[in-house]
Amino acid sequence: MSTTTHPILARQAPAHDNLLEVTGLHKHFPIRQGILFQRRIGAVRAVDGIDFSVGAGESLGLVGESGCGKSTTGRLITRLLEPTAGTITFDGEDITHTSVSGMRQARRNLQMIFQDPYSSLNPRHTVGTIIETPMKLNGVNPPQGLKRRAQELLETVGLNPEHYNRYPNEFSGGQRQRIGIARALALRPKLIVADEPVSALDVSIQAQVVNLLQDLQREFGIAFVFIAHDLAVVRHFSERVAVMYLGRIVEIADREALYALPRHPYTHALLSAVPEADPDLTGARERIRLAGDVPSPINPPSGCRFRTRCWKARDKCATEEPPLVRIPGNAEGHLTACHFPEEPTTAPRADVVLDPALAAMEETSTGTTGMPT
Amino acid sequence: MFRYLVRRLLAAALILLVISVITFFVFFALPSDPALLACGKTCSPARLAEIRHSLGLDRSTVVQFWEFFKGLFAGRDYGDQSVRIHCGAPCLGVSFQTDTPVLTTLLQNFPADLSLGLGAAAVFLVAGLGLGTLAAVRRGRATDKLAVGAALFGVSLQIYFVGLLLLYLFVDKWQLLPAAGYTPITQDPVAWFQGLLLPWATLVIVYLALYTRLTRSSMLEVFGEDYMRTARAKGLPAGRVVLKHGLRAAITPVVTIFGMDVGSLIGGSAVITESVFGINGIGKLAVNSVQNSDLPVILGTTLFAATFVVLANVVVDLVYGLVDPRVRLA
Amino acid sequence: MSQPTKESPESQPMEGSPESPHAQPRPLAVSTATPAFLDVRDLRVHFPTEDGVVRSVDGVSFTLDKGRTLGIVGESGSGKSVTSLALLGLHKGTRALVSGEVWLDGRELVALPEKEMRQLRGSTVSMIFQDPLSALHPFFTVGAQIAEAYRVHHQVSRKEANDRAVEMLQRVGIPQPRRRAKDYPHQFSGGMRQRAMIAMSLVCDPALLIADEPTTALDVTVQAQILDLIGDLQQEFGSAVVIITHDLGVVAGVADDILVMYGGRRIEYGTVRDVLKRPQHPYTWGLLQSMPHIAGDVDRRLNPIPGSPPSLINLPGGCAFHPRCPHKGQVPDGRCSLERPELVPVPGTAEHIAACHLVADIRGGENTRAAQ
């Protein structure tokens, strides 16, 4: 199906060093039609051939816009979804097609934190029950007893242990997210997949939760797959960051390289679009305004998927899918899937304005709009 | 769209087949014996066997069902050398009691239900939408409380009570109307209208309550939608906001229930109304057939009613597709 | 249950004076004799509930001139969205109690009868909502909805209105506008829907455009397009724009002035540069400190504001922010919890005001830390 090589694996010499390894991962959601006799009329190619690995204690960030497949990837890793193709190796064990009961063992070490702290906690259970349940299900009997352990966990995540008997609706959004984190910590996991853990929270609360996760990562050496659409939050939390677009990874690198020396045009566009609360930065960054929205993952563009919105696209981009490789000028471990990569800088240059309405208005008003190439 | 319709109709036929199988086998699981009923008081075992044979009851249930099923498409012949009854192509069987083909009886009784059901439905739909909208707009105020209260009152009334009350008042006491009943519209339109006025009123009183409440709650839900705020932010007058933007969205759940109700009403579910006002409709036919263990008529009325309900479902889905552009029929 | 908050009886008259534009020189308006195009004075929106009065907006004032953009910033429950609805008079006919004055081009809107207010809505004042999928009617075509907004305020034929709708769709950058006008909202992508919403809000050439979290539901690259589009269209139409957002990054890019709200009140107000580069209120400062960035020191630990936003029914007494404030110890005699700080000018600027005892007392010395 995919001709991609697995350069990340090739790079990291002994494979068993990695806690999590994902190769050639695909998830296609079939689109069916019909009432009694359903037939398949297509598929949403949510994840379409991705490779990455996460070392013990490491944090990998997955960023991208809606439809890029980052959340699906998170659900595949934790096996809440069944992969269509590819392999997932966790802690030396192939869990690609492990059954639900078989996952119980792996899940002790592989936990997930969800975006919505309102719907991911059962409103009819007390906080204590919520945190104890994973321990009970896995037959874990902490020496200090379940209740004491749950209270310790509440304390760890910055909640009052005396609130053990309260219900989720008595807590604020940020506190609920802390309960979710305490639940994930209960089994002392080696890896936590955090799917947009702070995006539903107010700005002032986001930082509290990010700091908490960071402390836990350092204290307990937990590896993270941190999924978010907010590039600044991901940069802050993850040592390594992968940028996804329409089911593929288009660029992956250490955060220093990815944010300061990006090569893929899409990474450039994403970074340039991030609103920064500093009026001095407005003129100090490149300005790239794409046209339109992300295309549908049902029928992704041929070749390079970004080419329909890319200012550098040429014929080759439509016919040949660029491999995710280390291109000349990149540091070790910095992989980019692009035939015509950008210069490794985010310094200002002539604006790239592809949006027709913006281009038309800016052409007439200032005439400064220029399109390179 | 066409393919969708064809598929839906095939599915509908399948459902009807399943219903007829179930009716058939449930009938034979019951302890009553139609032959015994037909035999009368002076019944000898020989006579009973004879009747049983002539009705086809001496054969196995499966064979009987196959005969019935074949009759639907090919027609059937009944009786022996002395009496021969032919039952033409969509043959639903021949009544054990009257020896007339079931379909003939059904078609005779059908216009009454059609007049009764459609007439009442048109009134309670329009009035229900209007009252429900009014109640929603005046939420919490006297108009709303009055409408909701009246609705509750209407729901708690029973048809036989309302019907008899109306009959007593309008026909007996004040003598404003002739005795209620069904006269074919082709025969005498005025008598048709006068005769059905009270049955319509009865059904409307009972159903109106339901439709007022349904419209009100659906409307209140729509009032909370963001697009209603947008409509106001555009500067539309309050009336236009409610009637154009609100009602258009609130009507969909009402349409669904309405389709089902109309389907079952003209399929004979207004049986109490029929008997209160002495109208010979499908419902009354069905009740009589059960009392007489008249299998062909039971089957016929069941299938007839089911056909309307199933067809109403298809129509509702088609209408849904027209009302809500997000629904794609495929 | 419904106890009035501590400060309400005594502090009401006191707070009135600094908030009122008459008692204090209007902080931001260019100091010419002409009154500001939009002048909001002591706006209050209170909702009586069974649990007490929810003071969603409690004495908000600001001014805005044509061609300028004001960003109103706050977290959930800060009252920023309620403020925007009140400007449009959308609380008329509900149980909300609205008081204060909203002067728009010499007309006062709070006391304006609904009939006259209705004629202003969508024509003089229009609004862009947060989630375009739910804000557009699912059962009408996009073109019809835009044309309707035009026909309410203009005596034109159906065809003329449709042509106008197509023209607007073209201007906001929708490809094949004539064909897309016949599509329903669900057939548009998220960014295109917000463009359609913008087209609808601009169809009558409004003098004041209010955008309530216009890009929160959008992807980041689309957000950048839409924000630029609003900015460019503003240049073209010369409207005044109020943009409501929780994201300081968004205002930094598009606004001229910033009003920071907390607990239904304004706590800091000034030009974008002043507020973001020299934040004076500990809350504004805290918000900036708690945000991660895409450049600069990556190992910097985020500096969150402790605690959670307050309940609007029972605001903390004194300064509503004091339970979360790391600097309250610097103000003697527990004044932060007893006395509501007034909005006072920040030394060295004529147009920057903040409601903090520290600003009033220490007069900048301590607060320069915020510039770092």
pLDDT band at C152 (very low <50, low <70, confident <90, very high): very high
pLDDT at residue number C370: 42
Predicted confidence (pLDDT) at residue C284 exceeds the cutoff of 80: yes
Residues A11 and A133 in one domain: yes
Whether residues A203 and C276 touch (CB distance < 8 A) is answered with: no
Residues A68 and A160 in one domain: yes
User: Which residues in chain C touch residue A286, judged by CB atoms under 8 angstroms apart?
Assistant: none
Residues A201 and A332 in one domain: no
Residues A3 and A118 in one domain: yes
Question: Average pLDDT, stretch B6-17?
Answer: 88
**Highest mean pLDDT (candidates A36-40, B148-152, C366-370):** B148-152
Condensed to tens digits (0 to 9), the pLDDT of residues A86-114 reads 999 999 889 998 887 788 778 889 999 98
Q: Say which amino acid occupies C6.
A: K
Whether residues C152 and B232 touch (CB distance < 8 A) is answered with: no
- Residue ranges with strand state E in chain A: 18-33, 39-55, 59-63, 85-90, 93-94, 110-113, 191-195, 223-228, 240-245, 248-254, 288-289, 335-336, 352-353
User: Which residues in chain C touch residue A270, judged by CB atoms under 8 angstroms apart?
Assistant: 220-221
Whether residues B227 and C122 touch (CB distance < 8 A) is answered with: no
Dihedral angle, C-alpha B94, B95, B100, B102, nearest 10 °: -70
Facing residue for C295 by CB, picked from A208, A259, A360: A259
- Average pLDDT value over all residues in chain A: 87
Facing residue for C186 by CB, picked from B234, B245, B326: B326
Question: Average pLDDT, stretch A204-209?
Answer: 89
Selecting from 3.40.630.40, 3.40.50.720, 3.40.50.300, 3.40.50.1110, what CATH number does the domain C1-115+209-372 have? 3.40.50.300
Higher pLDDT, A207 or B268: A207
CB < 8 Å from A in window 9-28 of B:
11, 14
pLDDT at residue number C33: 53
Residues A310 and A226 in one domain: no
User: Which residues in chain A touch residue C192, judged by CB atoms under 8 angstroms apart?
Assistant: 292-293
- Average pLDDT value over all residues in chain B: 85
pLDDT band at B158 (very low <50, low <70, confident <90, very high): confident
Whether residues A33 and B7 touch (CB distance < 8 A) is answered with: no
User: Which residues in chain B touch residue C138, judged by CB atoms under 8 angstroms apart?
Assistant: 227, 249, 324-326
Predicted confidence (pLDDT) at residue C260 exceeds the cutoff of 90: yes
Cα(A115)–Cα(A233) distance, rounded to whole angstroms?
Answer: 14
Whether residues B326 and C126 touch (CB distance < 8 A) is answered with: no
**Highest mean pLDDT (candidates A330-339, B44-53, B69-78, B284-293):** A330-339
Total domains in the fold of chain A: 2
Give the fold, CATH level 3, of B103-323.
Answer: MetI-like fold (1.10.3720)
pLDDT at residue number B83: 67
Predicted confidence (pLDDT) at residue A9 exceeds the cutoff of 50: no
pLDDT at residue number C64: 96
Q: Which of B51-60, C18-27, C99-108, C285-294 has the lowest mean pLDDT?
A: C18-27
User: Which residues in chain C touch residue B245, judged by CB atoms under 8 angstroms apart?
Assistant: 137, 140
pLDDT at residue number C6: 38
Residue B134: enclosing H or E segment and its boundaries? Answer: helix B102-137
Q: Shortest Cα distance from B246 to chain C (angstroms)?
A: 10
Query: C165 — contact with chain A (CB < 8 Å)?
Result: no
pLDDT band at A35 (very low <50, low <70, confident <90, very high): low
Question: Average pLDDT, stretch C298-308?
Answer: 86
CB A214 within 8 A of CB A237: yes
- Residue from A355, A364, A365 whose CB has the most chain C CBs within 10 Å, to mutate: A355
Residues A223 and A284 in one domain: no
Whether residues C247 and A365 touch (CB distance < 8 A) is answered with: no
- Residue from C294, C301, C305 whose CB has the most chain A CBs within 10 Å, to mutate: C294
Residues A232 and A283 in one domain: no
Predicted confidence (pLDDT) at residue B95 exceeds the cutoff of 90: no
Question: Average pLDDT, stretch B216-244?
Answer: 94
A373 lies in a domain? yes
Residues A234 and A266 in one domain: no
Question: Average pLDDT, stretch A29-53?
Answer: 83
pLDDT band at A45 (very low <50, low <70, confident <90, very high): very high
Condensed to tens digits (0 to 9), the pLDDT of residues B177-209 reads 888 788 888 888 888 898 899 999 888 888 888
pLDDT at residue number A29: 93
Q: Shortest Cα distance from B1 to chain C (angstroms)?
A: 19
**Subunits in contact with chain C (3 or more CB pairs closer than 8 Å):** A, B
Q: Give the CATH number of the domain where residue A88 resides.
A: 3.40.50.300
Query: A283 — contact with chain C (CB < 8 Å)?
Result: no
Cα(B3)–Cα(B283) distance, rounded to whole angstroms?
Answer: 34
Range of the structural domain that residue A63 is part of: 1-34+41-238
Predicted confidence (pLDDT) at residue A16 exceeds the cutoff of 60: no
Q: What is the pTM of this model?
A: 0.84
pLDDT at residue number C14: 40
Question: Average pLDDT, stretch A224-247?
Answer: 95
A111 lies in a domain? yes
- A-B Cβ pairs (cutoff 8 Å, strict): 7
Higher pLDDT, A291 or B27: A291
Whether residues B324 and C139 touch (CB distance < 8 A) is answered with: yes
A246 lies in a domain? no
User: Which residues in chain A touch residue C252, judged by CB atoms under 8 angstroms apart?
Assistant: 275-279, 281-282
Q: Nearest CA to A323 among A240, A250, A241, A244?
A: A250
pLDDT at residue number C169: 95
A245 lies in a domain? no
Predicted confidence (pLDDT) at residue C86 exceeds the cutoff of 90: yes
Write the Ramachandran bin of A313: left for phi over 0, alpha for psi from -120 to 50, otherwise beta: beta
Condensed to tens digits (0 to 9), the pLDDT of residues B285-299 reads 888 888 888 888 888
Query: A279 — contact with chain C (CB < 8 Å)?
Result: yes
Residues A198 and A327 in one domain: no
Whether residues C291 and A232 touch (CB distance < 8 A) is answered with: yes
Q: What is the largest CA-CA distance in chain A?
A: 74
Condensed to tens digits (0 to 9), the pLDDT of residues A322-356 reads 999 999 999 999 999 999 999 998 888 889 999 88
Cα(C172)–Cα(A359) distance, rounded to whole angstroms?
Answer: 11
Predicted confidence (pLDDT) at residue A50 exceeds the cutoff of 70: yes
In chain B, residues under CATH classification 1.10.3720.10 are 103-323
Give the domain ranges of chain C.
1-115+209-372, 131-205
Q: Which of A225-234, B298-307, C14-23 has the lowest mean pLDDT?
A: C14-23
ipTM associated with this complex: 0.86
Q: Is the dihedral of CA B134, B137, B139, B141 positive or negative?
A: negative
Higher pLDDT, C371 or A32: A32
